[in-house]
């Protein structure tokens, strides 16, 4: 049974640590962004190379390498957007009085180039591993993309916790495209579908012998999906999830985080009905 908990622990650590690093770098002065993204680009290129090297490796190590590469490449995607390097043609707040369809179309324009970059990178990853037995990295990337869109749609339709204080100042205009409400009809559907898929992955992993490639790959994917589901619940439950990444936030960010006292928060940045993009 211990062999099943090792991939769970590894996926949990990688999710927590990589999210914290991205939050930390996003909150640094914009003058540091070029160097941060340069470093992330080198890591992403090495990760692509690692995907190619392990595509024919049906080993436990190969599963971990593929999974790590998928997460790191996704991290580059998140950094490139939140640092403002790859976004979209629209860089202005949503005009007042927009209906839902127009608001949605304008919101798409704020990240259109980024979405195309995600598709291109995903296509490259699947092409690189198309004839290999190890496609863990490509499917890891696909899971992250799926759950990111699920979170974005929930934020658009409306949830109570919008986490705008996590956004760098230069993209806080994104908050004008989203809405704040107790719940939306899409939330239970999206969470239920993801939960069913996660359970199927866990059952499939438990049906296999321990410590082999397939079981480890399935548990890594299931854990990542479970963490994405948890992040969805953070959008609707009164939980101070920012405490998970206190080490990556400065004092002002911690004061603005959900669960912090209202007196400690910056009144200019307090939630006021609409807010920002999901966390990475």
In a domain, 200, yes or no: yes
In a domain, 276, yes or no: no
Q: Taking Cα atoms as reference points, which of 179, 156, 175 lies closest to residue 268?
A: 175
Mean local confidence (pLDDT), 36-64: 97
Q: Which domain holds residue 152?
A: 2-264
In a domain, 223, yes or no: yes
Which tokens hold the place of 34? Answer: 């070029």
In a domain, 46, yes or no: yes
- On the question of pLDDT at 23 being above 60, the answer is yes
In a domain, 271, yes or no: no
Q: Could you tell me the pTM of the whole model? A: 0.87
What SS3 state is found at 168? coil
User: Tell me: the pLDDT tens digits for 176-208?
Assistant: 998 889 989 999 999 999 999 999 999 999 988
Are the CB atoms for 182 and 96 separated by under 8 Å?
no
Q: Taking Cα atoms as reference points, which of 167, 171, 18 lies closest to residue 84?
A: 171
Which tokens hold the place of 141? Answer: 């990337």
The DSSP 8-state label assigned to residue 269 in this structure reads: T
Mean local confidence (pLDDT), 269-279: 33
CA dist 58 and 257 (Å) reads 43
CA dist 87 and 111 (Å) reads 5
In this prediction, residue 211 carries a pLDDT of 75
The DSSP 8-state label assigned to residue 93 in this structure reads: P
In a domain, 274, yes or no: no
CA dist 268 and 165 (Å) reads 11
In a domain, 211, yes or no: yes
In a domain, 100, yes or no: yes
Counting the structural domains of the chain, the total is 1
User: Tell me: the pLDDT tens digits for 130-189?
Assistant: 999 999 999 999 999 999 999 999 999 999 988 777 788 888 899 899 888 998 999 999
In this prediction, residue 263 carries a pLDDT of 32
Higher pLDDT, 89 or 245: 89
In this prediction, residue 261 carries a pLDDT of 37
Q: Which long-range contacts (CB under 8 A, 24 or more apart) does 90-99 make?
A: 91/173, 92/173, 93/173, 93/176, 93/177, 94/176, 94/177
CA dist 49 and 39 (Å) reads 16
* Cα 102–chain centre separation: 25
Question: 164: exposed, middle or buried (C-beta count within 10 Å: 0-12, 13-18, 19+)?
Answer: buried
């Amino acid at each position: 049974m211990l062999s099943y908990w090792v991939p769970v622990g590894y996926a949990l650590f990688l999710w927590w640590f990589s999210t914290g690093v991205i939050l930390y770098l996003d909150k640094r002065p914009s003058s540091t962004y070029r160097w941060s993204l340069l470093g992330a680009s080198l890591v992403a290129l090495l990760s692509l190379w690692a995907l190619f090297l392990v595509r024919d490796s049906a080993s436990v190590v190969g599963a971990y390498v593929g999974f790590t590469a998928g997460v790191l490449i996704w991290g580059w995607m998140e950094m490139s957007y939140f640092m403002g390097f790859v976004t979209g043609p629209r860089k202005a707040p949503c005009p007042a009085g927009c209906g839902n369809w127009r608001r949605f179309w304008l919101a798409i324009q704020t990240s259109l180039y980024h979405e195309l970059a995600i598709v291109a990178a995903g296509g490259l990853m699947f092409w690189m591993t198309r004839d290999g037995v190890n496609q863990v990295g490509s499917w890891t990337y696909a899971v992250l993309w799926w759950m990111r869109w699920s979170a974005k749609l929930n934020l658009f339709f409306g949830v109570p916790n919008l986490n705008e204080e996590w956004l760098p100042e230069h993209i806080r205009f994104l908050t004008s495209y989203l809405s704040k409400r107790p719940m939306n009809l899409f939330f239970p559907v999206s969470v239920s579908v993801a939960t069913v898929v996660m359970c199927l992955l866990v059952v499939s992993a438990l049906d296999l012998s321990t410590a082999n490639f397939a079981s480890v790959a399935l548990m890594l994917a299931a854990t990542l999906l479970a963490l994405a589901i948890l992040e969805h619940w953070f959008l609707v439950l009164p939980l101070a999830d920012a405490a998970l990444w206190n080490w990556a936030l400065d004092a002002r960010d911690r004061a603005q985080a959900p669960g912090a006292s209202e007196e400690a928060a910056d009144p200019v940045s307090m939630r006021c009905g609409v807010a920002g993009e999901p966390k990475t």
